[in-house]
Amino acid sequence: MEVSKRYGGALAVDALDLDVRRGEIYAFLGKNGAGKTTTIRMLLGLIRPTGGHVEVLGKRVGPGTTDVFARVGYLVETATAYPNLTVRENLDIQRRLMGAPRAAVAEAIELMRLGENADRRAGVLSLGYKQRLALARALLHRPELLILDEPANGLDPAGIVEIRELLRSLTSERGVTVFMSSHILAEVAHLADRIGIVDKGRLLEEIDRAELRARERGHVRVGVSDPERAAGILADAGFAHVELADGHLRVFDAEERVSEIARVIVGAGIALTELAPAHEDLESYFLRVTGGVE
């Protein structure tokens, strides 16, 4: 899909093109105002794109699209529930609205580990439990896809960890696909299978889990004229972990051997264009690419 949304003169979403794979957790990461909510609203058919279109579960979303949303669960605003009704009663109302079977309530309570709080009034729940209730509601009709706008908003670190574990078990046990937004990298770095970084309505970069781990781990970044040959030569010289990554090499566990890397490469007649220890905290990386800090 490629999609844009213009508000007056301002492009809130600018030719955004991304694909979420079935069964994965995809985190849509960007600062406030990056265009996340606008994108999610277009996905849900709540607002119309001014350019392009979106597809959800293989169906193009347009005016009047309804059937596909029977297979989608979503959470878009701060959770609201009837405060004077219990968790179970709140879920039962929603269940009836959705025409889901009676058993769906117990199932959602179980899934979101709400058992001990099922008969408490929603109004007295902690924020973390309110968020679980909202997720339980989104799951009542057993959706294949969950679209969540900042599901960890307002939660304390323990609540964030809980939501993370619940989402992970939903994908592994139920095969649910999750598309979620966040403005905090740490929230999604250990959860998402892939992260799309969005800024000013544009997708800057997509990073998968392996790539994230590599960036977290210290390594020496090596730019050379012939990366493939250089990788072989470094391996022969006893560098056990060498990776080829978009045109340059990453040599792991080699921070103490930088001059040796240079000697081996130059000795083989390969031009060395860059040689730098790289170890960047992911949060500062994210802030750097989105222009958050110097």
Binding site for ligand ATP (CB under 6 A): 7, 12, 30, 32-38, 183
- How far apart, in whole angstroms, are the C-alpha atoms of residue 264 and residue 90? 67
Q: What does the buried/exposed string (b/e) look like for 259-279 if buried means 16 or more CB atoms within 10 Å of the residue's CB? A: eebeebbeebebebeebeebe
33 or 267: CB nearest ligand ATP: 33
- The DSSP bridge pattern shows strands 145-148 and 72-75 to be parallel
Beta carbon nearer to ligand ATP, 105 or 134:
134
Nearer to ligand ATP, 86 or 182 (CB): 182
- The residue (of 33 and 292) whose beta carbon lies closer to ligand ATP is 33
From the CB of 145, what's the least distance to ligand ATP, in Å?
19
Closest approach of ligand ATP to the CB of residue 207, in Å: 18
Nearer to ligand ATP among residue 258 and residue 287 (C-beta): 287
Q: How far is the CB of 36 from ligand ATP (least distance, A)?
A: 3
Rounded distance, CA 73 to CA 4, Å?
A: 23
CB of residue 27 to ligand ATP, shortest distance in Å: 13
Six-digit token string for 152: 């960890």
Handedness of CA 157, 161, 164, 166 (dihedral sign): negative
CB of 139 to ligand ATP, least distance (A): 23
As a whole number of angstroms, the distance between CA 156 and CA 114 comes to 18
- Give the alpha-carbon dihedral of 257, 258, 261, 266, to 10 degrees: -140
